[in-house]
Amino acid sequence: MTLPTATGTLWLIPNTLDLGAADAPPIELVLPLGVLQRAAQLRHWLAEDAKTARAFLKRVNAVVPLTHALQSLSIVELPRPPKGGAGALAVAPDVAPLLAPALAGHDVGLVSEAGLPAVADPGASLVAAAHAAGIRVCPLAGPSSLMLALAASGLHGQCFAFVGYLPTDTLQRAARITALEALSRRERQTQIAIETPYRNAALAAALLTTLQPTTRLAIACGLTMAGGWCMTRRVRDWRGAPPVFSDRTLPAVFLWLAD
């Protein structure tokens, strides 16, 4: 299929994983030069958060000067998805109009607060709308906390599932963990979950309480940062020395594989 030449391209621009922390490594040590050069050229942006996007572009500008002044850039936030409860029945917002600049021939960048856009982050519906409109979609290489954690865990890297956020209700969370552990054992499938950073300790405690002693549990925190770490142990060993999350703002990834 030949895509229309009059349309712009939707560029999926990776962000760093450090959320702009004071001790974050230089951006050029995390993102390829080609990503920084592409980001510096774009005038139209769609972002998970406009403030975070501006901070990202300031870091880009320090390495590759922006083609257009930061104040002149168009940065539009993606609409928030419907929340749970009654809102779960609401119609998802129409994101197609956000692609108007691309349909007019301009390249557009999509960026999330951290990592790859549309992977464990908003943006998939926008990418789907771009495909439906015949707009070229081009992803650029950058860090994904999920894939980095999986690679560093030593768990099964050829059969895995990202299950997102687990329930916050104690009983529902325990039931979900038990079900995922059974699936992991049956399919030899690594399970991958994430949590809001300030609840990392609570999820770790729930996993240590619910998982079987022989299940291997990996926890990765602050990846790509100087103090980042990833440890894999049997649950019985974790129980003797539970993980400590010294920074309640750093994202973590939790992975487990049952024997």
Question: Which whole-number Å values give the CA distances from 5 to 15, 101, 103, in the listed order?
Answer: 28, 14, 10
* Residue 1 falls inside a structural domain: no
Model pLDDT for residues 53-71, shown as the tens digit of each residue: 999 999 999 999 999 999 9
Model pLDDT for residues 93-109, shown as the tens digit of each residue: 899 999 999 999 999 99
Tell me, yes or no, whether 183 and 70 share the same domain.
no
Tell me, yes or no, whether 93 and 153 share the same domain.
no
Number of folded domains that form the chain: 2
* Residue 88 falls inside a structural domain: yes
For residues 219-239, b (16+ Cβ closer than 10 Å) or e, as one string?
Answer: bbbbbbbeebebebebbeebe
Tell me, yes or no, whether 175 and 243 share the same domain.
yes
Which residue's structure tokens are 């990418």? Answer: 127
For residues 102-131, b (16+ Cβ closer than 10 Å) or e, as one string?
Answer: bbeeebbbbbbbbbbbbbbbbbebbbebbe
What is the rounded average pLDDT of the residues 220-242?
Answer: 95
- Domain with 88, as residue range(s), is 9-139
* Residue 93 falls inside a structural domain: yes
Tell me, yes or no, whether 156 and 84 share the same domain.
no
Tell me, yes or no, whether 227 and 112 share the same domain.
no
Tell me, yes or no, whether 17 and 129 share the same domain.
yes
Model pLDDT for residues 160-215, shown as the tens digit of each residue: 999 999 999 999 999 999 999 999 999 999 999 999 999 999 999 999 999 999 99
Tell me, yes or no, whether 204 and 155 share the same domain.
yes
Segments of 143-245 assigned E as strands: 160-165, 190-194, 216-221, 229-234
CATH number at residue 214: 3.30.950.10
* Residue 222 falls inside a structural domain: yes
pLDDT at 81: 67
Tell me, yes or no, whether 108 and 150 share the same domain.
no
Cα 130 to chain centroid distance, Å, stands at 20
Tell me, yes or no, whether 93 and 110 share the same domain.
yes
The strand pairing partners of 74, in sequence order, are 44
Tell me, yes or no, whether 132 and 14 share the same domain.
yes
Taken as a whole, the chain contains a residue count of 259
Global pTM reads 0.89
Q: What is the largest CA-CA distance in the chain?
A: 61
Please give the Cα distance from 139 to 14 (Å, whole number).
Answer: 8
Please give the Cα distance from 6 to 205 (Å, whole number).
Answer: 54
Tell me, yes or no, whether 195 and 89 share the same domain.
no
Residue 116 neighbours by CB under 8 Å, 6+ apart: 12, 14, 139, 142, 143, 144
Q: Given 124, 139, 154, which residue is the final one in a domain?
A: 139
Model pLDDT for residues 130-160, shown as the tens digit of each residue: 999 999 999 999 999 999 999 999 999 999 9
